[in-house]
Structure 1
Amino acid sequence: MDVLVLIGRILFALVFLYSAVGHLTQHRQLGAYAAAKGVPAAEAATVLSGVLLLLGGLSVALGVWADLGALLIAAFLFPTALVMHAFWKETDPQARQTEQISFLKGIALGGAALVMCAFFAYAAHDLGLTLTGPLLSMG
C-alpha cells in the first residue's frame, strides 16, 4: 500500500508543481490575465500563488508535512475557482461552459486536497515512504 500512496501523492502533486513553474516563470502574463479577472495586485498574487503551489506540491510529493501541503493546495484552489472561473458571470455560452468546467475541476481537486489532508493527519504515522509525519493530528 505504501507504494500506491506514494504514486498517488506524486501524480496528484505533479499538476500543481507544473502550475507553480508557470506561475513563477510567466508571472507577468498570468498577472495580466488575473488583473483582467479583477484580482487586486494581480502580479504579486500570481507569484504568491506560485509559491503556494510549489510548497504544497513538494510537500505532498515528498511526504514532508503532506497534510499541510494538501491544505496549501486547497487554499489556492477554492479562491481561484471562485475568482478566476466565475462561470455565472459569462454571457457567451461557450465561455460559460469552459469556465464552469474549470470551476468544477478546481473545487473537485480542492475537495481531494482536503481529503488528502485528513488522510495524512489521521493515518500518516502508519504510512511508509514519507520524510516526516503529519503536522496536524486527527487520530
Structure 2
Amino acid sequence: MDVVALIGRILFASLFLGSAFGHLSQAAAMTGYASSKGVPQAKIAVLGSGVLILVGGLLVLLGLWMDLGALLLVVFLVPTAVLMHPFWKETDAMAKQTEMIQFQKDIALAGAALLLFALYAGFGARLGITITDPLF
C-alpha cells in the first residue's frame, strides 16, 4: 500500500505543481485573467497563490509535513473556487455551466486535500512513504 499511496500523492501533487509553474511563468496573462474576475491586487494574488500551491504541492509530493501541504492547498482552492468561478453571477447558460464545473472541481479537490490531511494526521508515516511525520 505504501507504493499506492505514493503514486496517489504524485498524481494529486502533479496538478498543483503544473499550475504553480503556470502561475509563476505566465504571471502577466494570469494577472489579466484574475483582474477580469475582480480579484484585488491580482498580480500579488497570482504570484502568492503560485508560491502557495508550489510549496503545498511539493510538501504533499515529498511527504514532508504532508498535512501542512494539504492545508495549504485547501487555502488556495476554496478562495479560488469562490473568486475565480462564481457561476451564480453568469447569465449565459454555457458560461454558467463551465464556471460551475470549475467551481465544483476546486471544491472537490479541497475535499480531497482535507481527506489527505485527516488521513495523514491520523496514520502518519504508516500512510505511505514519507520523509517526516505529521506536523499537526
Q: TM class, shorter-chain normalised?
A: over 0.9
Mapped partners of 2:111, 2:123: distance in 1: 18
Q: Deviations over 1:95-115 (max 9, x none)?
A: 000000000000000000001
* Alignment partner, residue 36 of structure 1: 36
Per-residue deviation, 1:55: 0.3
The separation in 2 between residues aligned to 1:128 and 1:108, in whole angstroms, is 22
Aligned residues: 136
The Cα of 1:124 is off from its aligned counterpart by 1.2
2:68 is aligned with 1:71: no
In structure 2, give the amino acid aligned to 1:17.
L
Unaligned ranges ≥5, structure 1: none
Cα distance change on mapping 1:49 and 1:11 into 2, 3 Å: same
Amino acid paired to 1:4: V
| Matched-pair contact (CA < 8 Å) for 2:77–2:110 | yes
Q: 1:128 to 1:85 in 2, by over 3 A?
A: closer
Match status 1:56 vs 2:56? yes
Please state whether the residue corresponding to 1:11 is helix, strand or coil.
Answer: helix
Partner of 1:113: 113
CA distance in 2, matches of 1:21, 1:127: 28
Kindly report which structure 2 residues correspond to 1:1-139, keeping only aligned pairs within 5 A, or say none: 1-136=1-136
Coordinate RMSD, CA, aligned: 0.8
Task: Give 1:97's aligned amino acid.
Answer: Q
- Partners of 1:128 and 1:104 in 2: how far apart? 28
Q: In 1, are the aligned partners of 2:119 and 2:127 still within 8 Å (CA)?
A: no
Contact kept in structure 1, 2:64 and 2:130, CA below 8 Å: yes
Deviation at 1:127, TM superposition (A): 3.4
TM-score (norm 1): 0.96
Superposed structure 1 runs of 4+ greater than 3 Å apart: none
* Secondary structure at the counterpart of residue 134 of structure 1: coil
Q: Does 1 or 2 have the higher relative contact order (CA < 8 Å, sep 6+)?
A: 2
Residue identity in the other structure for 1:132: T
Unaligned runs of 5+ in 2: none
Over residues 67-103 of structure 1, what are the superposed CA-to-partner deviations in whole Å (9 max), with x where a residue is unaligned? 0000000100000000100000001110000000000
CA distance in 2, matches of 1:126, 1:71: 19
CA–CA separation in structure 2 for the residues paired with 1:104 and 1:45: 21
Aligned equivalents of 1:36 and 1:11: distance in 2?
A: 31
Per the normalisation by structure 2, the TM-score is 0.98
